[in-house]
Amino acid sequence: MHQHHGLLADHVDGGSVPAINDAGVELKASGVGQTVKVRGAARTILSDVDATFSPGNLTALMGPSGAGKTTLLSILRGGRCSMGSMAIDGAPYTTATRKLIVTVPQDDVLLAGLSPLEMLVYAAHLKLPRALGRAAKLARVQRVLSELNLEGEDQRTRIGSVDARGLSGGQRKRVSIGLELLTNPAVLLCDEPTSGLDAKMAADVVGILRALSQQQRRTVVATIHQPSFQLFARFDWLLLLSKGRVAYSGAALNAAAHFGALGFPTPPHENPADYMMRLLQDVEEARGLDLVAAWAEGAAAISQRAAHRLPSWKPVGVTVSMLGGGSGGGDNGGDGGLLEFAYRTSVLCHRTLYDSFKDPAKTLKTVILKSMVGLLCGTIWFGQGRSGSYGDIFSITGALFMCVTTSTLEVLLDTVLEFPLARALLLRELSNGHYSLRSYYVARTVANFWQACVNTVLVALPVYFMVGLSLTARQFGIFGGCLVLLELIGSCIGIMIGCTSNDINDARTQLVPVLAPLLIFSGYVVPYNNIPAYFTWAYYASFFQYSFALLMINEFADRTFTRDCPAQLAEQQVLAALEERLAPYWPPLPHNGTWPAHNGTWPAHNGTWPPPGPWRNWTWPPQLQFTCTGREYLQLVGMWPNKFGAISNYFAILAGYLALAFVATYVVLYRVTTMKMR
């Protein structure tokens, strides 16, 4: 294990694991139904579900795809439904009792780079009360790992993902279950824990679920697809759904008898579980009989009889001791206050940073990729900042624009690409109360800030030094500060787009309309003076514009250019005119663009000298001013006199933008997560 850092330190010495009350918790659905609005019309996806989920029971929730299994699970989780009612131990759900219930989602959303041990240790720090102490938390992690049969090397293997192999699917599923076991929940709801697993792994997972239900009289419900008979037989109870209605609810082993009584005995050599599913899906197989109606009518008696075979159980009410026993539920319950909040936020920060920098190879790859952009720009515009030639202004402007756009776009695209995955993990952990959205947001912002600094160093510094921009501490600080602000704005926009879109295509449709105007009105593509009056508002709305102008003013306001200036060219025109004026007096001067060195003797002339006119006081050679200022250029492109006052004002505007982006991102995240968790 990783001795070197605090959170994952390796002391396992005792630490009591509060057990849940032996009485367990009963969930009861009475006439539960759910309607959703699909294009304005209400659609019923679940109706009239009566079912009891008792402690110590492992219930299989089966039914064809679209039958409403996932919907029912989320109703069991939250207790909210549009018809009927849910009760937990005979009472309506409360914030406190909801914490006894956890869900294991269908997809194993985990941090691929971490090992099961690390993942669980972080979860323990996030989920368990801070007061429990590190040793107790680690002890609980070890206990969960052994309950899950994840021991030895498996604990330390990276979890991996589809494209980077790590643990097997069954092991990943077990880690996923383990994350929710840390608080010792009374009710465990698993959505399709065996889908995608082979028979052996599926049997392992169901074995663990069964053990979990029996050991501490937990209530365990799992939706399940096509179980083998052997697997099916390990479930105590079966709730069979068909198109949102109950087709059977009772002891799993009595199900075959129920369908037998309706005239559908399981054919020999067939798995009863498969046969039941076939009956539900295939009208011909069921010979037109409505199995749902048949169940609703009379067959309830069978379940009554079956119920007698199970140990009787009376609701005793959720006891306080169960809630005190470490069902942390993050910092969102208001318990624990600021200290708890700060603690969880710091753990989350630690995890985010640890995850992104854990793998040295990956970190190196990121560093190289990012600095490539900087090096490329640096090479293209190498040394042009130092030349002092007016003609290079355009190149420097290009380099500055590159810095502005790459620092924003790079982080924006990165965030958009990675956020759908991060969102899945966020939703999972939020809904199971690992932490609050506030904690997540603060931690994410800290991580983003860190990332922004690293990116600025990797991308912008090579450009700065290779191009040779003005090197004073002040100008350099302004340059770096501006880019960090931009990166932060970029990551906010990335989060907003990433969390409101479900995939990359979705994201693309939002990206283009957001980015195109920002870039067009950045002040680079179209100079301010050339923007049509009816579009100037877009110019003022683009944060690119403020940052670009800021960098331009920062770079050019105090510079003077001495070669190829328009002023120099103008002086040469004056000389040409002078020469023309002098032509009657002496032959053309032998210069080719530059004035000849004067060797003390004058060329012979054929008129009177000095020529008439107000020129008699001229000194020779003429003192010509071959310079022009950066401000003149800024004036040309409409950035000078600077419209928003001093550079600090530009910073203030950008900071305002960032504050706005922070708030907007939080609101969007809040809305998306509450909507998705419903």
**By three-state DSSP, how is residue 493 classified?**
helix
CB of 106 to ligand ADP, least distance (A): 8
CB of 70 to ligand ADP, least distance (A): 3
Q: Which is nearer to Mg ion, 59 or 183 (CB)?
A: 59
Q: Which is nearer to ligand ADP, 75 or 422 (CB)?
A: 75
Q: How far apart are CA 589 and CA 605, in angstroms?
A: 11
* Partner touching 36 among Mg ion, ligand ADP, none, CB below 5 to 8 Å by kind: ligand ADP
Q: Which is nearer to Mg ion, 45 or 485 (CB)?
A: 45
Q: How far apart are CA 17 and CA 141, in angstroms?
A: 10
CB of 339 to ligand ADP, least distance (A): 38
CB of 209 to Mg ion, least distance (A): 17
Side by side, the strands of the sheet bearing 245-251 are 101-104, 187-190, 219-223, 58-62, 237-242, 245-251
Which one of 67, 76, 109, 552 is in contact with ligand ADP (CB under 6 A)? 67
CB of 222 to ligand ADP, least distance (A): 12
Residues pairing with 83 in the sheet: 33
**Residue 70 makes contact with Mg ion by CB under 5 A:** yes
Q: How far apart are CA 275 and CA 409, in angstroms?
A: 55
* Partner touching 208 among ligand ADP, Mg ion, none, CB below 5 to 8 Å by kind: none
CA 426 to mean position of chain CA atoms: 8
Selected range binding Mg ion among 34-42, 65-73, 116-124, 607-615, rule: CB under 5 A: 65-73
Selected range binding Mg ion among 68-76, 282-290, 563-571, 598-606, rule: CB under 5 A: 68-76
Q: How far apart are CA 108 and CA 421, in angstroms?
A: 11
CB of 99 to ligand ADP, least distance (A): 24
Q: Which is nearer to ligand ADP, 44 or 389 (CB)?
A: 44
Which one of 10, 11, 66, 386 is in contact with ligand ADP (CB under 6 A)? 66
CA 633 to mean position of chain CA atoms: 42
Q: Which two tokens stand for residue 151?
A: 């021991």
- The number of residues that bind Mg ion (CB under 5 A) is 1
* Partner touching 28 among ligand ADP, Mg ion, none, CB below 5 to 8 Å by kind: none
**Burial class for 437, CB neighbours closer than 10 Å (0-12, 13-18, 19+):** middle
- Reported as half-sphere exposure (CB side, CA atoms, 13 A), residue 142 has a value of 17
Q: Which is nearer to Mg ion, 70 or 432 (CB)?
A: 70
∠ Cα 341 346 349 (to 5°)? 125
* Partner touching 525 among ligand ADP, Mg ion, none, CB below 5 to 8 Å by kind: none
Q: Which is nearer to ligand ADP, 63 or 325 (CB)?
A: 63
Q: Of 649, 628, 630, nearest to 639 (Cα)?
A: 630
Q: Which is nearer to ligand ADP, 227 or 523 (CB)?
A: 227
Selected range binding ligand ADP among 68-76, 84-92, 483-491, 579-587, rule: CB under 6 A: 68-76
**525 CB contacts (<8 Å, ≥6 apart)?**
519
Which one of 65, 594, 599, 617 is in contact with ligand ADP (CB under 6 A)? 65
CB of 247 to ligand ADP, least distance (A): 13
**351 CB contacts (<8 Å, ≥6 apart)?**
111, 122, 126
Q: Which H or E element spans position 301? A: helix 300-309
CB atoms within 10 A of CB 655: 14
- Reported as half-sphere exposure (CB side, CA atoms, 13 A), residue 617 has a value of 1
∠ Cα 642 645 646 (to 5°)? 100
CB of 68 to ligand ADP, least distance (A): 4
Output the DSSP codes for 89-139: TTB---HHHHTTEEEE-SS----TTS-HHHHHHHHHHHHS-GGG-HHHHHH
- The number of residues that bind ligand ADP (CB under 6 A) is 11
Q: How far apart are CA 325 and CA 128, in angstroms?
A: 9
Q: Which two tokens stand for residue 523?
A: 């002040």
Q: Which is nearer to ligand ADP, 67 or 488 (CB)?
A: 67
CB atoms within 10 A of CB 534: 7
Selected range binding Mg ion among 48-56, 67-75, 280-288, 412-420, rule: CB under 5 A: 67-75
Selected range binding ligand ADP among 69-77, 229-237, 255-263, 389-397, rule: CB under 6 A: 69-77
Q: How far apart are CA 660 and CA 361, in angstroms?
A: 36
Selected range binding ligand ADP among 67-75, 256-264, 362-370, 406-414, rule: CB under 6 A: 67-75
- Three-state secondary structure of 464-530: HHHHCCCCCHHHHHHHHHHHHHHHHHHHHHHHHHHHHCCCHHHHHHHHHHHHHHHHHCCCCCCCHHH
CB of 138 to ligand ADP, least distance (A): 36
Which one of 33, 56, 68, 272 is in contact with ligand ADP (CB under 6 A)? 68
Q: Which is nearer to ligand ADP, 68 or 250 (CB)?
A: 68
CB atoms within 10 A of CB 338: 8
Q: Which is nearer to ligand ADP, 192 or 204 (CB)?
A: 192
CB of 196 to Mg ion, least distance (A): 13
Q: How far apart are CA 47 and CA 66, in angstroms?
A: 13
* Partner touching 63 among Mg ion, ligand ADP, none, CB below 5 to 8 Å by kind: ligand ADP
Task: List binders of ligand ADP among 2-61 (CB under 6 A).
Answer: 36, 38, 45
Q: Which is nearer to ligand ADP, 66 or 298 (CB)?
A: 66
CB of 207 to Mg ion, least distance (A): 22
User: By the 8 A CB rule, do 219 and 55 touch?
Assistant: yes
**Residue 499 makes contact with ligand ADP by CB under 6 A:** no
**Residue 71 makes contact with ligand ADP by CB under 6 A:** yes
CB of 4 to Mg ion, least distance (A): 42
Selected range binding ligand ADP among 63-71, 503-511, 536-544, 646-654, rule: CB under 6 A: 63-71
Chain position carrying tokens 């009360």: 129
**Residue 63 makes contact with ligand ADP by CB under 6 A:** yes
Q: Which is nearer to ligand ADP, 68 or 178 (CB)?
A: 68
Q: Which is nearer to ligand ADP, 65 or 606 (CB)?
A: 65
Termini Cα distance of the chain: 38
Radius of gyration of the chain (CA): 36
**Residue 194 makes contact with Mg ion by CB under 5 A:** no
Residue count of the chain: 678
Q: Which is nearer to Mg ion, 69 or 127 (CB)?
A: 69
The DSSP code for 514 is H
Residue ranges that bind ligand ADP, judged by CB under 6 A: 36, 38, 45, 63, 65-71
Residue ranges that bind Mg ion, judged by CB under 5 A: 70
